[in-house]
Amino acid sequence: MSDDRLIVALDVPNALSGLALAETLGDAVSFYKIGLGMLTGGGLALANELKQEQGKRVFLDMKLFDIGATVEAAVRGLAQYDLDFLTVHGDPHVVRAAKEGAAGSDLKILAVTILTSLERSDLDESLIRDGAIPDLVAERAGRAFDAGADGVISSPNEAALIRALPEAAGRLIVTPGVRPAGADLGDQKRVATPANAIRNGADHIVVGRPVWQADDPRAAAQAIVAEMQAV
Separation between Cα atoms, residue 164 and residue 109, nearest integer Å = 20
Concerning whether 63 is annotated as a catalytic residue, the answer is: yes
CB under 8 A, 24+ apart: contacts of 224-231: 224/6, 224/180, 224/194, 225/1, 225/2, 225/3, 225/6, 225/28, 227/180, 227/193, 227/194, 227/195, 228/3, 228/5, 228/6, 228/194, 228/195, 228/198, 229/3, 230/195, 231/195, 231/198, 231/199
Catalytic residue among 33, 56, 63, 108: 63
Q: Hey, which residues are catalytic here?
A: 63
